[in-house]
């Protein structure tokens, strides 16, 4: 196995290179965090779970659970400077516990591979929709026509397969180029472009005449309608959107320069990610209501409702194209984060070149992606447990694997690692450190366990006295 070199000051260095600056790291993590999760998934899950109350629980999960987990991942990553599996094994031993912690890293690598297998298929949809928009497919189209366009597209397995192949190709291409030349170059351009485009769209949605109903849907909370299943979905979404609980952030943390503040960088990323999800909701829900559409429409929400809305606005072709370009960019930078742990592991474990590792991992994920491709056509009628095969992969990864691995990662950082190690990484034992330690030791683990056990029905209903 390849091991990281040690630099002059005795600190480990990553053999994959380092981010050139603090800003590059923030952009990379933001690029990974902001993706289909914010723009495609958040609105449709919030829509399916009734809006307001779900959104509030999601926000609580982001700040009380997601952020401490993110800080734990970055600090572990930077201390180990290897791929998540090797880092967990190394620190496990170094901190006087056991190298079996590598299984937590492996769980994360596996989660990333599984998530990317379906993420890439949806990323392929966004690519296809760029072309559909440019060619004016949606101009003046009726609701039935836009709906029919989406179902005829998703019912064609080879079209989905083709787009999935393209999207995987784009991902492998950037990852193969490495940290500084690939990942960093990509995010430097994409993240700022994304923000600019979102604000342009917000301007449009404010003028749609239904901005108030969109805001009301997102923020008026009816907690009575909230089930534990929705709370688990909100927690899963918090993990998914922040890219935490699978080693992606740990892998990126391994390339973080010594002097960068982990707390500051995490706060910037969490705020940017949450801001963009809320922004996406504010763009999408008013358009949904302005067109008499259903917020609980499911995975097709963005792909059906928005083209319809765009088709009826002046300059619609332009805005629709802009929107799907934005979504493709967002998905692309996130896919990089999903694949990075597995690629870094492959490079170190099998002593492969980065390019070889990217192609090997990419091919495995490409094959797995067919489970999702067929879930929308050939086997769409085969449903069990949570729905189609795609629904089950999504449930298993977002609602089970991410929280479970996030739980173990935080327990490792806050209970297994000694105080000196963590406070050294988090820049001293100030207030920020104490807040992190409290959240990571008690709040996050208890909350994750509680919500999870409640949702799967292991904990009984409390009889309110
Ligand atoms: N956070 C990304 C999104 O919101 C998805 C993702 C999850 C990326 C985990 C990397 C790791 O779309």
Residue 363 CB neighbours (<10 A):
12
pLDDT at residue 201 in the model: 79
Q: What is the pLDDT of residue 456?
A: 82
pLDDT of residue 462: 59
CA 313, CA 310: separation in Å to the nearest integer?
5
> Chain-centre distance of CA 93, in angstroms?
30
Q: What is the pLDDT of residue 181?
A: 72
Q: How far is the CA of 161 from the centre of ligand 1 (A)?
A: 21
Average pLDDT over residues 363-383: 97
Q: Which pLDDT value is given to residue 5?
A: 55
Residue 366 inside a domain? The answer is yes
Residue 105 counted as domain residue: yes
Which residue's CA is the closest to the ligand 1 atom numbered 7?
243
Contact, 205 vs 214, CB < 8 A?
A: yes
pLDDT above 70 (res 183)? no
In this prediction, residues 287-312 reach a mean pLDDT of 85
pLDDT at 190 exceeding the cut of 80:
no
pLDDT tens for residues 330-349?
A: 899 899 999 999 999 999 99
Query: What confidence score (pLDDT) does residue 459 get?
Result: 79
Residue 64 confidence (pLDDT) above 60: yes
Pocket test for ligand 1, best of 28, 31, 34, 37 (most atoms within 8 A of CB): 37
Q: What rounded mean pLDDT belongs to the chain?
A: 90
Q: If you measure from the C-alpha of residue 242 to the centroid of ligand 1, how many angstroms do you get, rounded to a whole number?
A: 6
Ligand 1 lined by 171 (C-beta under 6 Å): no
Q: Is residue 460 part of a domain?
A: no
Cβ(38) – ligand 1 distance below 6 Å? yes
Would you say the CB of residue 317 lies under 6 angstroms from ligand 1?
no
In degrees and rounded to multiples of 5, residue 463 shows phi and psi of -80, 105
Residue 70, in any domain of the structure: yes
Residue 8 has pLDDT above 60, yes or no: no
Rounded CA-CA distance 430/74 in Å is 18
Cβ neighbour number for residue 408 with a 10 Å cutoff: 21
In a domain, 421, yes or no: yes
Residue 185 pLDDT > 80? no
pLDDT at 25 (0 to 100): 85
Least confident of 13-22, 39-48, 242-251, 408-417: 13-22
Mean pLDDT of 288-308: 86
**Residue-level pLDDT at 297:** 83
Cα-to-centroid distance, 401 and ligand 1 (Å): 14
Q: Between residues 427 and 403, which one has the greater pLDDT?
A: 403
Q: Is residue 464 part of a domain?
A: no
Count of residues for the chain? 465
pLDDT at residue 330, rounded to an integer: 87
User: Could you report how far apart the first and last alpha carbons of the chain are, in Å?
Assistant: 59
Could you give the CA distance from residue 295 to residue 169 in angstroms, rounded to a whole number? 33
Q: What is the CATH number of the domain that holds 408?
A: 1.20.1740
Q: Which domain holds residue 266?
A: 15-455
Residue to probe by mutation, ligand 1, list 29, 243, 244, 281, most atoms within 8 Å of CB: 243
Q: Above 80 in pLDDT, residue 159?
A: yes
Q: How confident is the model at residue 100 (pLDDT cuts 50, 70, 90)?
A: very high
pLDDT level of residue 464 (50, 70, 90 thresholds): very low
Q: Is residue 302 part of a domain?
A: yes
Give the tens place of pLDDT for each residue, 194-251: 778 788 878 888 887 899 999 999 998 888 879 999 999 999 999 999 999 998 999 9
Q: Other C-beta atoms within 10 Å of 176: how many?
A: 18
**What pLDDT band is residue 88 in, cutting at 50, 70 and 90?**
very high
Q: What is the dihedral angle through the alpha carbons of 388, 398, 30, 352, rounded to the nearest 10 degrees? A: -90
**How many folded domains does the chain comprise?**
1
136 in a domain, yes or no? yes
The pLDDT score that the predictor gives to residue 117 is 98
């Amino acid at each position: 196995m390849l091991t990281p070199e040690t630099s002059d000051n005795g600190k480990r260095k990553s053999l994959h290179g380092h981010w050139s600056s603090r800003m590059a790291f923030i952009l990379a993590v933001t690029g990974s965090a902001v993706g289909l999760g914010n723009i495609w998934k958040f609105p449709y899950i919030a829509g399916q779970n009734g809006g307001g109350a779900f959104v509030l629980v999601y926000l609580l999960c982001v700040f009380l659970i997601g952020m401490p987990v993110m800080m734990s991942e970055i600090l572990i990553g930077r201390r180990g400077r290897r791929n998540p599996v090797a880092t967990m094994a190394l620190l496990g031993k170094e901190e006087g516990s056991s190298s079996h912690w590598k299984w937590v890293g492996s769980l994360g690598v596996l989660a990333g591979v599984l998530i990317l297998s379906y993420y890439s298929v949806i990323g392929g949809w966004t690519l296809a929709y760029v072309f559909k928009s440019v060619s004016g497919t949606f101009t003046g189209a009726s609701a039935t026509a836009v709906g029919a366009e989406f179902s005829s597209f998703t019912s064609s397995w080879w079209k989905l397969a083709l787009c999935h192949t393209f999207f995987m190709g784009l991902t492998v291409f950037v990852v193969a180029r490495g940290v500084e030349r690939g990942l960093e170059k990509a995010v430097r351009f994409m993240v700022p472009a994304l923000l600019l485009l979102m604000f342009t769209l917000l301007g449009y949605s404010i003028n749609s005449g239904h901005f108030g109903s969109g805001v009301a849907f997102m923020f008026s909370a009816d907690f009575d309608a909230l089930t534990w299943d929705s709370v688990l979905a909100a927690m899963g979404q918090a993990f998914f959107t922040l890219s935490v609980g699978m080693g992606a952030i740990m892998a990126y943390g391994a390339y973080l320069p010594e002097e960068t503040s982990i707390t500051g960088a995490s706060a910037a990323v969490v705020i940017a990610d949450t801001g963009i999800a809320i922004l996406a909701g504010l763009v999408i829900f008013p358009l949904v209501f302005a067109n008499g559409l259903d917020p609980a429409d499911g995975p097709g929400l963005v792909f059906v409702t928005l083209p319809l809305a765009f088709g009826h606005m002046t300059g619609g072709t332009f805005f629709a194209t802009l929107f799907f370009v934005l979504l493709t960019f967002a998905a692309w930078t996130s896919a990089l984060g999903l694949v990075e742990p597995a690629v870094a592991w492959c490079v170190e474990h099998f002593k492969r070149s980065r390019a070889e590792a990217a192609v090997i991992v990419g091919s495995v994920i490409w094959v797995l992606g067919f489970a999702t491709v067929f879930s929308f056509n050939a086997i769409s009628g085969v449903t069990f447990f949570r729905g189609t095969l795609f629904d089950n992969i999504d449930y298993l990864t977002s609602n089970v694997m991410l929280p479970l691995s996030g739980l173990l990662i935080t327990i490792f950082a806050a209970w297994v690692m000694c105080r000196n190690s963590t406070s050294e990484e988090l820049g001293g034992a100030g207030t920020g450190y104490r807040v992190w330690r409290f959240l990571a030791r008690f709040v996050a683990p208890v909350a994750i366990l509680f919500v999870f056990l409640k949702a799967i029905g292991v904990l009984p209903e409390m009889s309110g006295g």
